[in-house]
Structure 1
Amino acid sequence: MSTATVTHDTLALAAAENLSIAQLPTWYDVDTVAELDRLRVQLSLHQNGQAIHTRKFLTLPSPFGRGARGEGGEGGKA
């Protein structure tokens, strides 16, 4: 589960172990069906070859038996 200090804590642990890190730009979490739907819309608007594994995952059958993953209607957490 995320906390307000997870990034800070992770960076501190990496520094303590003398590990190099790289940070990606901040985006948004996908924790709910609505947020998963938002991601699907974002990906459909930007056909730029990015997020190929995410796109493929979203085409797989839903474990809830209702079409592809992220098509909405599953209820609860995604």
Structure 2
Amino acid sequence: MSPDLRVIVYPPDAEGGRRVRCDGEILGRALGPGDLLEFLRRAGLDPDDVRLNDGLLIEWRGGGPAVWAPDTEGA
């Protein structure tokens, strides 16, 4: 796995999907951790080496790896 890659997972949208970017390129919209790992595999990473909560490879916006639903509190 390249330490130079930068992955950003954006906050959940209204349906709970999260946009995923790697090095500025949109990889897709993940509906859960399995989708995210598949996008990273297609980007050349080994899913067995990816730790979703390590904070080095993935920048989580709007909640970490356990958040896959929109924040509806206060709505």
What is the TM-score normalised by the length of structure 2? 0.29
Greater relative contact order, per chain length (Cα 8 Å cut-off, separation 6+)? 2
Larger radius of gyration: 1
What is the TM-score normalised by the length of structure 1? 0.28
More strand by share: 2
